[in-house]
């Protein structure tokens, strides 16, 4: 058996849309990216979408557009990828790292309230929907994360790199916060190879992100290359970035978007299989799903090897590899990364749940092409290793 950790499903219209781009003679941003933006915004229920070349770019544009400045303090969970925090350093702002809940890997309203109490002047929150499950955004008594942030005048930048398509209650992530950023990196729930999307209902944030996405130029200048009547003239209104999504990538994204719900349902099939097969294993903790299985994108399936298990996490990964099964770790927390640890003098004891997760966490393969036979083999191998 050879079961990679991640595999991209490419059985739809990817080649067809890619050929259309190649035949058009125009490979970078144009009509495919525009259509992708429109359809994506419609899918999640947001007013505006801005296609970019990574989620990191989307997050950078988001904090820039929201007005995060030098010295601003911004909350970030420690259990995330470095992109969630590094974009704050681009603005010379300071991440304030938070612990997460054991079981879900998410920040909770209680953890948020404590962080606000201790830190007082907080400008914003980078809200990570870890693994593809939404945090508790709103509650009927106004105690959800969105409710608390609104009351405390804290802006929310949703890092939804894992969370497409993910719902909270009956609405998609992307239709709640001030601004939401998605990833279409190769291992994500839909991919464009490399790519990302910023979505918002706020016209000002959208206009700023759109301008900064392409050098701070005040209009969509690719029209001047593809339309004979378009004017060559443009102005530069700010020192922007080069973050636009080429049509080559958007073409793949359009095909993937058509199958997004099918992909999600297939990943849910894998998660259901794992949860049923491994529910009685005493050496591991399974991921906790707060709401309905359908609301979860199931980007990740992270288990935690308990301290008293017969093998350590690192041994487990090696033994799985010996049996032809790829795994990964999400994440070595940011408070353990040299740069953040040294810059902010961080202490693992301040992140007890994150440490507990980090010490035992392993992400299992989860993607549409995993067959039930593959899943059975993975579960049997795990049982063998842990028995």
- Provide the binding-site residues for ligand PLP, judged by CB under 6 A: 54-56, 80-81, 83-84, 128, 159, 161-162, 183, 185, 196
Shortest distance, CB of residue 182 to ligand PLP, whole angstroms?
A: 8
Taking a C-beta distance cutoff of 8 angstroms, is the pair 156, 125 a contact? yes
Burial of 136 (0-12, 13-18, 19+ CB in 10 A): buried
Cβ contacts of 160 within 8 Å, gap of 6 or more? 129, 166, 173, 174, 180, 181, 182, 183
Nearer to ligand PLP, 32 or 162 (CB): 162
Q: What are phi and psi of 218, to 5 degrees?
A: -80, 5
Nearer to ligand PLP, 82 or 175 (CB): 82
CB burial of 322-354 (b: ≥16 within 10 Å; e: otherwise) equals ebebbbbebbebbbbbeebbeeeebeeeebebb
Shortest distance, CB of residue 253 to ligand PLP, whole angstroms?
A: 12
What's the CA angle centered on 79, arms 88 and 180, to 5 degrees?
50
Taking a C-beta distance cutoff of 8 angstroms, is the pair 249, 18 a contact? no
Shortest distance, CB of residue 320 to ligand PLP, whole angstroms?
A: 21
Q: Which residue has the tokens 């190769």?
A: 186
Nearer to ligand PLP, 319 or 329 (CB): 329
Shortest distance, CB of residue 164 to ligand PLP, whole angstroms?
A: 12
Shortest distance, CB of residue 138 to ligand PLP, whole angstroms?
A: 22
Beta-carbon count within 10 A of 72 CB: 19
Shortest distance, CB of residue 54 to ligand PLP, whole angstroms?
A: 3
Nearer to ligand PLP, 129 or 375 (CB): 129
Nearer to ligand PLP, 185 or 377 (CB): 185
Helical (H) or strand (E) element with 206? helix 203-213
User: 378-381 long-range CB contacts below 8 Å, 24 or more apart?
Assistant: 378/3, 378/274, 378/325, 379/273, 379/274, 379/277, 379/278, 381/320, 381/323, 381/325
Taking a C-beta distance cutoff of 8 angstroms, is the pair 357, 336 a contact? no
β-partners of residue 361 are 304
Catalytic residues: 188
Taking a C-beta distance cutoff of 8 angstroms, is the pair 382, 281 a contact? yes
Token duo for residue 131:
């693994």
Nearer to ligand PLP, 81 or 172 (CB): 81
């Amino acid at each position: 058996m050879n079961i990679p950790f991640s595999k991209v499903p490419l059985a739809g219209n990817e080649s067809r849309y890619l050929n259309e781009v190649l035949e058009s003679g125009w490979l970078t941003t144009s009509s495919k990216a525009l259509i992708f933006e429109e359809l994506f915004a419609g899918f999640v229920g947001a007013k505006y979408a801005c296609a970019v070349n990574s989620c990191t770019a989307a997050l950078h544009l988001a904090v820039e557009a929201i007005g995060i400045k030098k010295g601003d303090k911004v909350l970030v969970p420690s259990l995330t990828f470095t992109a969630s925090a590094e974009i704050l350093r681009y603005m010379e702002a300071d991440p304030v790292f938070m612990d997460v809940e054991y079981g879900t890997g998410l920040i909770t309203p209680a953890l948020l309230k404590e962080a606000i109490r201790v830190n007082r002047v907080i400008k914003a929150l980078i809200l990570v929907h870890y693994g593809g499950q939404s945090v508790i955004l709103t509650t009927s008594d106004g105690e959800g994360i969105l409710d608390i942030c609104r009351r405390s005048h804290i802006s929310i930048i949703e890092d939804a790199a894992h969370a497409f398509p993910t719902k909270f209650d009956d609405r998609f992530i992307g239709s709640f916060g001030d601004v939401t950023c998605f990833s279409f990196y190769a291992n994500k729930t839909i991919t464009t190879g490399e790519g990302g999307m910023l979505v918002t209902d706020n016209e000002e944030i959208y206009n700023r992100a759109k301008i900064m996405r392409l050098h701070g130029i005040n209009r969509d200048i690719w029209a001047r290359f593809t339309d004979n009547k378009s004017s060559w003239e443009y102005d530069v209104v700010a020192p922007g970035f080069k973050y636009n999504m080429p049509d080559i990538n958007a073409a793949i994204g359009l095909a993937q978007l058509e199958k997004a719900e099918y992909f999600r349902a297939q990943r849910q099939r894998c998660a259901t299989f794992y949860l049923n097969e491994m529910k009685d294993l005493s050496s591991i903790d399974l991921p906790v799903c707060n709401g309905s299985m359908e609301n979860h994108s199931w980007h990740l399936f992270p288990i935690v090897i308990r301290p008293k298990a017969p093998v350590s996490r690192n041994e487990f990964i090696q033994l799985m590899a010996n049996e032809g099964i790829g795994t990964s770790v999400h994440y070595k927390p940011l408070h353990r990364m040299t740069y953040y640890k040294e810059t902010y003098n961080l202490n693992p004891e301040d992140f007890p749940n994150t440490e507990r997760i980090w010490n035992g966490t392993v992400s299992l393969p989860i993607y549409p092409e995993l067959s039930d036979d593959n899943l059975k083999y993975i579960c049997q191998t795990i049982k063998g290793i842990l028995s």
